[in-house]
Structure formats: C-alpha cells, structure tokens
Amino acid sequence: MNILYLNNSVHLGGDTKCIIKLCKELKRSNKIIVGSNGGSLETEFQKMGIKHYKIKPVSSINIFSIIFNIILIIKIVKKESIDIIHSHHRMTTLMSKIASKFIKVKVVHTQHLCIENKFYLTRLSLKNIKTITVSQGAKEVLKRKCKLNEKNITNIYNSIEVECKNKEIDPKLLELKEKGFFLVAQISRIIDYKGVYDFVDVARSTVKINKDIRFLLIGEGEESENLNKYIKQGNLEEYVYMLGSKDNVIEHLKHIDLIILCSYIEGLPLVPLEAFSQQVPVIATNIEGTKEEIVDGENGFLVEEKNIEKFTEKINEIFNNEDLYNSLKENAYKIFKEKFDVDRYIAEHIVLYNEVLYAK
C-alpha cells in the first residue's frame, strides 16, 4: 500500500504527532510519503527516511496556491504510485478530492477538531470522503452541523507513543522539583483557544492560597510574547514559568504532578493521554473530545470553561488529599491502557484503508 499523508504544516501539534505515529508503524510494510508546507517536525520524517514534498500554505484561500497544490498532488500521486491520500486538513482534503477527479487515487480525511465555523467549506471538502474523527463529539458536529453522511464517518480514538529517546529535562523544571514544589502544567500551543490566559489566572488564584505550587506552560505559539507580558503584569514571574516547546513531553511529565487544560475547543487532545501514560491526573474544561478522555473524579476532573474558581478549588483538593491523588493516578494509567492503546489505533487505520481501497 502506498500512502501520501497531507497536512497544512508539520509543526509540533496533535495532528502532526498522529501523522508521525502512523508513519513509524506503517512504513515497515508500506511506502509512505508526506506533503506539507513544512514545520519544526519536518526533520522527524527525514530521520525515518520518508520523502517530504513541500506544498503551498493552505490556511488562507488563494486560488493560485490551490491550483499549484492540485497539480503537485497529481504529480506526486503519479510519480510515487500513491493508492491512498490521507489528509489531515480540510483544504488539503478538498484539493486531494479535486485531484482524484483527474487521477485514480482514494482519499481519506481525519478531522482533529470539533469545528465551530466554516461548516459549508467542511461539507464541500468532506462530502463523499471517508472521514476519521478522533472523538464522538467531532463526529456529531460533522453529522449535525455539516450534514455529512454518518456511514462515511468512523471514530478512531487517538493514542500516543510512550518511548522517548531525548532524556533532557528543562533545568527550571528540575530546579523547582528539587525545591519540593508541587508542579502544575499546561502543555499546548500558546494560542487563544487553548485558554492560556485562563491558565495564568488559575495560577494567580491558586498561589494566593497555596505558595507551595508552581505553574509551567510548555509550548509555543502566536500568543507567547503577549502571554509573557501578562505574567509580568501580574507579578507572577516567581510562580508561572514559560518553558517553550519540548519534543520529549513524556520525559517532562515524569516530573510533573498535575496537568490542567483550559482549552475552549479540542478534538481528542493528546496531552491527557500522554499524562495518563505517566500516571499524571488531568483537570480540564468540560468540552467535546476532552470529556471522552476524562472520567470526572476517576482520572481527573472536568470544569466548565473559564471557571477559574473551580480550577483553583480542584487543584487544592488534589494537593491536600493524598488518597484522592493516588487514586486518580492509578485510574489514569488503567484507563489509558484499556482505551487508548497504540496497537488498536494502528489496526483500526489499516482496516479503514483496506475498506476504502477495496470498496466496490
């Protein structure tokens, strides 16, 4: 089977991690090609010996870029004898769909987010395309708001790899750990819809009550500079630390006590799975996708969006109750192993690819 994975970019994020995971597992017995506008994780494909084609950016609609990309996709399919294009962005899916009218190739799409806009564009891109959703919430949005046929939608829960070759840990994290602080972190891109300003507000609220807790933000993004200013304006430099992006999240999680996620929108975020794999409980917003990972009171807690007071309350409840904390940790790992196993993830993709290839 010859597979072309397409995405807008290959920067650090859940969608790229999923592509890398599929590439690592499937390249053993399949030909794998990747196409994107590039990004910080492009070298990961080079390390695996996987060819990467550079496409034009697709996040903004530019007719010349669209035509260029369609022609390029057709050339790649011909040159590499591609059987399936698996796209992870609705615009690369739309362009692949158009390309498939001129050349024999099957198209699969993965919907990573519970979208809140551009329903018509999504319907145009995904209509009659076999689509994978990463959560039941994302599936429901495609059915109800995009009016897509349920028969073409398959839900496959994300999984993660727990092995990591890079053992280097951020010095500031180690310093805080050695001083005995309880470490609470959010691992995400530093962008608005991840609720990063709420994270800082939770930190401000919490340290007023408990000076033994420190807060870490791991990630980068367009709001990094503004968020750093926000931390300084609140005189929180002693309590909140921005550590930047890390390519070895699992290793850092081994030193973190609690994860919180203040996001407003997700598909099925990978961070809770990464946390659970290391027995780290998660407090997160009660939104689609995330609420399919967290069983309230068992492996973490669910809190309504922007409810700073409730986040603070739950952090302190966990900090002050060792029995509760240990129970959450134990259940986190147990649920991870039962529901989010990587072998299941790969097997379900292979089944779907075969269904698409050999459909009558």
Say if residue 18's pLDDT is above 70: yes
Looking at the chain, the whole-number percentage of residues with pLDDT higher than 90 is 84
Dump pLDDT digits (tens) for 52-83. Answer: 999 999 987 789 999 999 999 999 999 999 99
Domains of the chain with bracketed CATH: 2-159+341-357 (3.40.50.2000), 171-339 (3.40.50.2000)
pLDDT at 13 (0 to 100) = 81
pLDDT of residue 293: 94
Residue type, 135: S
What integer best gives the mean pLDDT of the chain?
Answer: 94
- pLDDT score, position 51: 98
Give pLDDT, residue 35: 98
How far, in Å, CA of 75 to CA of 85, rounded?
A: 13
pLDDT tier for residue 318 given thresholds of 50, 70 and 90: very high
pLDDT at res. 59: 80
Q: Which amino acid is at 197?
A: Y
Question: Is the pLDDT assigned to residue 360 strictly greater than 70?
Answer: no
Whole-model pTM above 0.85? Answer: no
For residues 13, 261, 282 and 249, what is the CA-based torsion angle, rounded to 10 degrees?
30
Looking at residues 81-90, what average pLDDT do you find?
A: 97
Q: How confident is the model over 24-52, as a mean pLDDT? A: 95
Q: Is 355 helix (H, G, I), strand (E, B) or coil?
A: helix
User: Using one digit for the tens of pLDDT, what is the confidence trace for 133-172?
Assistant: 998 888 999 999 999 999 999 999 988 877 766 789 999 9
Q: Read out DSSP for 96-140?
A: HHHHTTTS--EEEEEE-B---S-HHHHHHHHTTSEEEESSHHHHH
Average pLDDT over residues 235-239: 97
Average pLDDT over residues 223-246: 97
